[in-house]
Amino acid sequence: MIKPQLIFTKYKNSFTVFIKNLEELSVEQIQTFQEFCNLRHGYFNFDTYTFTIQKNLTFHEFVKIIKSLKIDAKIFENLPMQKSNKKITFGKFKGMLYSELPDSYLSWLKHNYSGEDREVISNELKNRNL
């Protein structure tokens, strides 16, 4: 049986797990992760191979839970990129952090904005893999 490869990313009040080899897993293995997610009121997204749970949990706590459930998996920690604390100074999102802007607006800025914050916009798009 193939070992699931899980990439854990911690956020302020939640965590996301990317299942790197989801397509290679058996139906039973996938159902185990769906059940894990559902019991914790999380969201399983087949399009992105991820599940997200709104709980403040550390990487080590997650590993302990997976082991206690006897799920044999390779688990890695992904440290999220540093968010910019720079605020947008114009337009309808004035005063918001660039890290809080909708993806669509950041993409629009990339093609239509030529001001001094171009590097901040570019970095934010890279952080989001857009």
Hey, is 118 helix, strand or coil? Answer: helix
DSSP line for 13-51: S-EEEEETTGGGS-HHHHHHHHHHHHHTT-EEETTTTEE
- Stretch 24-31: mean pLDDT: 95
Q: What is the pLDDT of residues 36-95, one digit of tens each?
A: 999 999 999 999 999 999 998 999 999 999 999 999 999 999 876 566 788 999 888 899
14, 70: one domain: yes
Tens digits of residue pLDDT in 91-120: 888 998 888 888 888 889 999 998 888 888
The CATH number that applies at residue 61 is 3.30.70
Structural domain of 26: 5-78
**Is 55 found in the same domain as 37?**
yes
